[in-house]
Amino acid sequence: MYTVDVLLCEPSDYRGGVFSTLEADGASRTHAFEKRGDALCFQSHKFHSVSPVTAGERRVLIVEFWLGEARTCAHRCPRHWGPCTYSAGDSFLRRVFVSNVAGDL
């Protein structure tokens, strides 16, 4: 349900590693840690990414708070209880199919 990222080093200890989220309007929004101990909290299902670290070492504690059973399926499962039949193979085939169809348009 929620993810909390806590910076365990100083921002000056690394370059790159910029955290960003995909917003409802399709724009990417960056969120900066200003000092060690700063935390970012966001809805876990929100699409997010971190750019490559180009120098130094970026250390972050990540804690996720979820509702429901533990999941091992290869996606952001919308089911909180009961079995999920989604697999990494399904994900791979969907990406290949969608990229091939999109490339033909």
Chain centroid to CA 14: 20
Residues 15-73: pLDDT tens digits?
Answer: 999 999 999 898 999 999 999 999 999 988 888 999 999 999 999 999 988 888 877 77
How far, in Å, are 42, 77, 84 from residue 97 at the CA level?
Answer: 31, 21, 22
Residues 72-89: pLDDT tens digits?
Answer: 776 767 777 888 877 767
- For residue 7, pLDDT over 90 is answered with yes
List Cβ neighbours of 41 (8 Å cut-off, separation of 6 or more): 2, 3, 4, 5
105 — pLDDT class (breaks 50, 70, 90):
very low
